[in-house]
Amino acid sequence: MKLWKKISLLTAVVLFLAMGIFGGGMLYETWKYNLNQTVSSYQQQIKVNAYVIAQEINNNPLSRFSEVTRKSFLNYTVQKYGGTDYILLKNGKEVVNLTGYMLVSGEEKRFSGSDPEYVLQKTENRHLLVMGQVLKTEKKGNLKFQLILVKDISGIYEEMAKQMWLFILVYLVVIFFAVDIVFWLVRMVLKPLTELENTAGAISRGDWQRRCRVRRNDEIGKVSVAFNRMADKMEEQMEELETVSEHRRQLLGSLTHELKTPMTSIIGYSDTLLHVKISEEQQKKALEHINSECRRLERLSGKMMTLIGLYDEDRIHKEPYPVEKLIQEVADLERYHMQDSGMELQIYSESWEYRMDVDLMESLLVNLLDNAIKASEEGSVIELHGEKGCIWVQDHGKGIPKEEIPKITEAFYMVDKSRSRKAGGIGMGLALCQKIAEIHGARLLIESTVGVGTRICVIFQEEN
Amino acid sequence: MKNRILVVEDDTAISELICMNLTVAGYDTEALFDGKEVEALLKTDREFDLALLDVMLPGKDGFELMELMKEAKIPVIYLTAKSDVGSKIKGLRSGAEDYIVKPFEVLELLVRVEKVLERTGRQISRITVGTVEINLNEHQVTRDGQEVSLKPLEYDLLVLLAKNKNMAFTREQLLNQVWGSDYLGETRTVDVHIGQLRKKLELFDVIKTIPKIGYRLED
């Protein structure tokens, strides 16, 4: 069952019961009050009548009257004061009965108090009030007179029934409208939930930009706000994921392309060796080419693995490390390489620490130095400086044309393809550096002038 | 006289590979590694029968060089790692005779080169193998100046081997190239025809059987 139906039904049932119980109670109380009022007014009446009739009996010498006279006297007296509603008993015997009812024998014992007692009786379809008391006839000694009032009070019951029917009618009409209103209100209150559902549905179908409109400040409004926040976050992460996978796709694309060149050589030369009659010298050349191209493939796959590994954050362990120590280590690593190429490495570092993965930072700097070596002529100087917040490598080599600078950090991009290949480059160094810098919250700033030299700064943007 | 082929490829290994095979198969080659070098060379030397162009070149790329090639009336075969249809269409539309995707097989390259030369009428008309001379225009084969009569299939087989000297062919490749790919004969047929050629032209030492591979005509 839907929530709005549940809530509406529950509310309706509660409303129905509450109104019914309250209305019924009120009705019952009213009825009881009416009855009591009637009874007490008749009590007043019977008291007065009992008093005056007792006076009449006391003041007249009944015993001296003949039977007939006495009877008519009593008859007259009762009728004079009480009309046709009374029965008079003498020693338990009916002497006057002006009502249309018979008193069942034994009933008179109920009314032997000097204050009026009453019972309510139901005969056929009439409701009767029977009330009686003993008359105070002290002067008559052993004679005991009882006055009994019989009154048809069906009117009260009829009135009561009428009121009940009226109440039920009003009750039903009110309940009908109230339930309608409750249903409508609950639906109105819960309507944003439907919108929330629709929005969630749209998002799960891939409409990432969809959001709920928040118009209220209640719980549902808060849920909507929370939902929107979640959707924002999710969209953000989706975009991030997409960027990463797009990046990987491009990388894979460039990789396959980059694989084709060595593959062409390897397949071609091996094919030639198998099928073509060539001189021994040429055979040796072919084998050398196959060998060097295979090595290139190996380097390529190694770098690719490193680059892919950089996307796996679990394998990165950062710890605070003194930069001057890092620079010294990198310098030691590169010393022989530099001597081989006939270049001089000048290092300088301020003393500061940074949270880093030492292996990765080393490989970043080694990469930058290798690039600098490739770009430089024999005998030139390469500088490696670590200032606070920035480490830079400066060469005095051929430089990079301005329009090429934005592209050089792309994987497989080489400014001078044939020359880089001869130097063993595969065009991945700066892409790796870029990624490593990113991991350390840093960026690469490349400044270069053709013919003068290049300076690549690793700028640490945030204190991590 | 040999056909002269211009090879423009920036990767030295591949460039050497192509030149090595073309030379062995009996072509003269000229290797260049940069688009700008091509521009410079064509100003002085336009005597090429064919150009093999890499599409992605430093200096000027293959598509840019097309205009120069058209001007110099040199037929072009593109040689590239770009295997997508778009690049192929662009290459062929721009006026290239053929389009070869890397990595390629050497034999495929040679056959395509040969076909393009044939189609553009730049193929040399005479091939000599020792004392045997093949006149491609007149479909005539002479040994020591004496005309030798060959059956059509024997002639085709000889021409294929002679055009790709020093290149080994498998029996299946020979069947495909000479008899056609829909021919359902056995590879024995090839052996029989090779035997006939050897006998008629006395090429016993020249047409060599390469174990496990097939046959090769050696100079």
Per-residue pLDDT tens over the stretch B157-173: 998 888 888 888 888 88
Question: What's the pLDDT band for B137 if we cut at 50, 70, 90?
Answer: confident
Mean pLDDT across A243-256: 76
* Contact status, residue B70 vs residue B45, Cβ threshold 8 Å: no
A90: part of which helix (H) or strand (E)?
A: strand A86-90
Q: Which burial class, exposed, middle or buried, applies to A419 when counting CB atoms under 10 A from its CB (0-12, 13-18, 19+)?
A: middle
Whether B114 has a pLDDT exceeding 60, the answer reads yes
% of chain A residues with pLDDT over 70: 93
**What is the distance in angstroms between the Cα of B171 and the nearest Cα belonging to chain A?**
13
Rounded-to-integer distance, Cα A395 and Cα A380, Å: 8
**What is the distance in angstroms between the Cα of A260 and the nearest Cα belonging to chain B?**
6
Mean pLDDT across A332-345: 82
- Which amino acid is present at A155? G
Question: What confidence score (pLDDT) does residue B183 get?
Answer: 79
Question: What confidence score (pLDDT) does residue B51 get?
Answer: 92
* Contact status, residue B123 vs residue A283, Cβ threshold 8 Å: no
Tokens 């009003």 correspond to what residue?
A170
A70-74, A289-293, B79-83, B127-131: lowest mean pLDDT where?
B79-83
- Which amino acid is present at A409? T
Question: What confidence score (pLDDT) does residue A203 get?
Answer: 86
Rounded-to-integer distance, Cα A225 and Cα A217, Å: 9
Q: Do the chains contact at B106 and A272, CB–CB below 8 Å?
A: yes
- Mean pLDDT of chain A, nearest integer: 83
Q: Cβ neighbours of residue B99 under 8 Å, at least 6 residues apart?
A: B77, B78, B80, B88, B91, B92
Question: What's the pLDDT band for B131 if we cut at 50, 70, 90?
Answer: confident
Give Cα A194 to chain centroid, integer Å: 13
- Which amino acid is present at B32? L
Q: Do the chains contact at A274 and B213, CB–CB below 8 Å?
A: yes
Mean pLDDT across B122-138: 83
Q: Which residues of chain B are within 8 Å of residue A272 when distances are taken between CB atoms?
A: 17, 20-21, 106
Question: What confidence score (pLDDT) does residue A258 get?
Answer: 74
Question: What's the pLDDT band for A414 if we cut at 50, 70, 90?
Answer: low
Q: Which residues of chain A are within 8 Å of residue B82 when distances are taken between CB atoms?
A: 257
Question: What confidence score (pLDDT) does residue B33 get?
Answer: 87
Minimal Cα distance from B11: which residue of A? A418
Q: Which burial class, exposed, middle or buried, applies to B59 when counting CB atoms under 10 A from its CB (0-12, 13-18, 19+)?
A: middle
Rounded-to-integer distance, Cα A440 and Cα A461, Å: 9
The shortest CB-CB distance from B168 to any of A267, A268, A276 is to A276
Whether B29 has a pLDDT exceeding 90, the answer reads yes
Whether A464 has a pLDDT exceeding 60, the answer reads no
ipTM value > 0.90: no
> Is the Cβ of B111 closer than 8 Å to some Cβ of chain A?
no
Question: What confidence score (pLDDT) does residue B31 get?
Answer: 92
For residues A409 and A66, the model is more confident at A66
Question: What's the pLDDT band for A421 if we cut at 50, 70, 90?
Answer: low
Mean pLDDT across A312-330: 83
For residues A3 and A43, the model is more confident at A43
Rounded-to-integer distance, Cα A419 and Cα A454, Å: 17
Q: Do the chains contact at B166 and A268, CB–CB below 8 Å?
A: no
- Mean pLDDT of chain B, nearest integer: 86
For residues A86 and A424, the model is more confident at A86
Question: What's the pLDDT band for A165 if we cut at 50, 70, 90?
Answer: very high
Whether A415 has a pLDDT exceeding 80, the answer reads no
Question: What's the pLDDT band for A374 if we cut at 50, 70, 90?
Answer: confident
Q: Do the chains contact at A418 and B34, CB–CB below 8 Å?
A: yes
> Do A3-169 and A316-460 show the same overall fold?
no
User: Helix B85-93 vs helix B62-71: angle between axes, to the nearest 10 degrees?
Assistant: 20
**What is the distance in angstroms between the Cα of A402 and the nearest Cα belonging to chain B?**
16
Per-residue pLDDT tens over the stretch B77-99: 998 877 778 888 888 888 889 99
Question: What's the pLDDT band for A427 if we cut at 50, 70, 90?
Answer: low
Whether A244 has a pLDDT exceeding 90, the answer reads no
The shortest CB-CB distance from B11 to any of A261, A276, A278 is to A261
Question: What confidence score (pLDDT) does residue A416 get?
Answer: 56
Whether A259 has a pLDDT exceeding 90, the answer reads no
Q: Cis before residue A192, ω within 30 degrees of 0?
A: no
Q: Which residues of chain A are within 8 Å of residue B102 when distances are taken between CB atoms?
A: 260-261, 263-264
The shortest CB-CB distance from B14 to any of A268, A274, A286 is to A268
Q: Cβ neighbours of residue A71 under 8 Å, at least 6 residues apart?
A: A95, A96
CB pairs under 8 A between A and B: 89
Instruction: Tell me the residue ranges of DSSP E strands in A178-326.
Output: 319-322
Q: Do the chains contact at A265 and B20, CB–CB below 8 Å?
A: no
Give Cα A210 to chain centroid, integer Å: 18
Q: Where are the domains of chain A?
A: 3-169, 316-460
What superfamily in CATH does domain A316-460 come from? Histidine kinase-like ATPase, C-terminal domain (3.30.565.10)
Closest CA to B91 of B117, B108, B69, B114: B69
Mean pLDDT across A213-230: 84
Q: Which CATH number is correct for A3-169, 3.30.1140, 3.30.450, 1.10.10, 1.10.8?
A: 3.30.450
Mean pLDDT across A49-69: 84
Question: What confidence score (pLDDT) does residue A3 get?
Answer: 80
Q: Which residues of chain B are within 8 Å of residue A278 when distances are taken between CB atoms?
A: 20, 24, 166
Whether B103 has a pLDDT exceeding 60, the answer reads yes
The shortest CB-CB distance from B11 to any of A271, A275, A421 is to A421
> Is the Cβ of B108 closer than 8 Å to some Cβ of chain A?
no
Question: What confidence score (pLDDT) does residue B5 get?
Answer: 93
The DSSP secondary-structure symbol of B102 reads S
Question: What's the pLDDT band for A279 if we cut at 50, 70, 90?
Answer: confident
Grouping H, G, I as helix, E, B as strand and the rest as coil, residue A164 is: helix
Rounded-to-integer distance, Cα A463 and Cα A389, Å: 9
Q: Do the chains contact at B106 and A268, CB–CB below 8 Å?
A: yes
Question: What confidence score (pLDDT) does residue A33 get?
Answer: 92
In terms of average pLDDT, the best of A338-342, A408-412, B64-68 is B64-68
Alpha-carbon distances, residue A48 vs A82, A116, A369, A462 (angstroms): 10, 11, 129, 106
> Is the Cβ of B102 closer than 8 Å to some Cβ of chain A?
yes
Rounded-to-integer distance, Cα A271 and Cα B25, Å: 14
The total number of residues written for chain A in this structure: 464
Whether A25 has a pLDDT exceeding 90, the answer reads yes
Q: Do the chains contact at A271 and B34, CB–CB below 8 Å?
A: no
Closest CA to A383 of A354, A343, A430, A351: A343
Mean pLDDT across A127-142: 81
The shortest CB-CB distance from A276 to any of B13, B104, B166 is to B166
The shortest CB-CB distance from A276 to any of B16, B58, B167 is to B167
**What is the distance in angstroms between the Cα of A255 and the nearest Cα belonging to chain B?**
12
Whether A145 has a pLDDT exceeding 80, the answer reads yes
Q: Do the chains contact at B20 and A260, CB–CB below 8 Å?
A: no
The shortest CB-CB distance from B13 to any of A257, A260, A293 is to A293
Whether A53 has a pLDDT exceeding 80, the answer reads yes
Question: What confidence score (pLDDT) does residue A284 get?
Answer: 92
- Residue A240: both structure tokens together: 């991030």
Whether A412 has a pLDDT exceeding 90, the answer reads no
Question: What's the pLDDT band for A275 if we cut at 50, 70, 90?
Answer: confident
Name the H helices within B83-187: 85-93, 106-119, 152-163, 171-174
* Contact status, residue A308 vs residue A349, Cβ threshold 8 Å: no
